[in-house]
Amino acid sequence: MATLNSSLAGTARRETAGPPLTALLALVGGHALLLSFVLLWWETTEVAPLAWRTSLYLATLLAALGLARLATWIAEHPAGRLARFLPAALTMILTLLAAEALLRAHQVPAGLIPTPTAVLTVLWQARDVLLQDTWQTFVMEAVIGFLIGVGVALPVSGLIARSGFLQRGLMPYAAAFSSIPIPALAPVFVHMFGLDWQSKAAVVAVTVFFPVVVNVVRGLLEIDPRLLDLMRSYAASDREVFTKARIPNALPFFFNALKLGTTLAMIGAIVGEFFGATGTGLGFRIQIEAGRFGFDIVWAAIIVASTLGIAWFGLVAWLERRFTSWHVSLRE
C-alpha cells in the first residue's frame, strides 16, 4: 500500500510539474542570442563573420527545439486558452527575430527581402496611404461585393431547393462556375464596368455567389429523412418543414460558404486591382511597389490585407458558433 501511495504521489507530482527546464533554457538562450546580434549589428552595413552566422543558425535551431518541446508539454497538460495560444505567439516571435538577425547578418538588400523592422517602420510611415487603400479594397470592393453575392445567392438557393427542375437544370452549372479562376474573370469585369471599385465588387460578387448557392442548396436538401417523416406525422406544412427543419439544417453549410467567401472576396478584390485601378487599393499598391522594388511597402500591404482577412474570417466563425452552437461539429 505504501508503494502504491508513493507511486501515485510521484505521478501527481509529474503531472503538476512545470514545463521542462531544458526547453525553457533552449528557448530563452536562442532568443537572447538572436536579439543580442540584432542590437549589436543594428548600424553595421558589413556581412557578419562566418562564426556569427553559424551561431545564429544554431541559435535558431536551439530555440525551435525548445519551442517544440514546450508546445508538446502544453499539449499534454491541461492549460488555459492563453497558454494554448503561447506556442503560436512564440513561433511568430522566433520567425521575426530569426529573419531580422539572418537578413542583417547576410546584408540582404532591402530591394530583395526587407527586414521585419523595415516593414513595420514603413507600415507606420505610410499608414495614411494604406488606410485609403484599405477603404477602397476592403470596404468598397470586398465587403460590398460579398454582401451582393450572398444577398442574391440566398433567394436563388431557396428557389432551387424547392424546384426539382431547377435542381437538375441549374445546379450542374453552379457547381461548374464555382471553379472559374478569379484571374479569368477580373479583366472581363474591369473592361465591362471600368477601373473604379464597381468592377472589382462585381468580381467578388460572382466569385462568392456560386459557392454560397452550392452549399446552401446542399444544406437544404441533405436532411435526415426520419426528421421529415416526424414533421409529416405532426401534420406540418411545407412552409413549416422548410423554416423549422431545412433552414436550421442548412445553417452549418451556409456558414462554411461564408468562411470560404471571405477568403475569395479578399482574393478577388486584390487580383481585380492588378488588371486596372484608379490609383488606390491594396492590390494596386502591391503591383506598383513591386515594380519599383519597394518590397517594404509590398509586405506592409500584405500584412494589412492578411490581418483584415483573418479578422473577417474570425468574425464569421464567431457568428457560426453563436448561431449553430447546437451542431455536433461545435460541441466540445
Average pLDDT, the chain: 84
259-262-268-273 Cα dihedral, nearest 10 degrees = -160
pLDDT in tens, 179-215: 777 777 788 888 888 888 888 999 999 999 988 998 9
Give the start-to-end residue ranges of the domains of the chain: 19-106, 124-323
Topology (CATH level 3) of domain 124-323: MetI-like fold (1.10.3720)
Q: In whole angstroms, what separates CA 69 from the centre of its chain?
A: 26
- Given a contact cutoff of 8 angstroms between Cβ atoms, the answer to whether 139 and 308 are in contact is no
Residue 197: C-alpha distances to residues 258, 269, 281 (Å): 22, 9, 9
- Given a contact cutoff of 8 angstroms between Cβ atoms, the answer to whether 37 and 100 are in contact is no
Q: What percent of the chain has pLDDT over 90?
A: 38
pLDDT reading at 11 higher than 60: no
pLDDT reading at 8 higher than 60: no
pTM of the model: 0.82
What is d(CA 255, CA 200) in angstroms, rounded to the nearest whole number?
A: 23
Residue 265's contacts (CB-CB under 8 Å, 6 or more residues apart) are 142, 143, 145, 146, 149, 204, 207, 208, 312
Read off the pLDDT band of 313 (50, 70, 90). very high
What average pLDDT does range 225-233 have in this prediction? 76
Range with the lowest mean pLDDT among 27-36, 311-320, 321-330?
A: 321-330
pLDDT in tens, 143-166: 999 999 999 999 998 888 887 777
Residue 164: C-alpha distances to residues 141, 168, 221, 318 (Å): 35, 6, 11, 34
pLDDT in tens, 117-149: 999 999 999 999 999 999 999 999 999 999 999
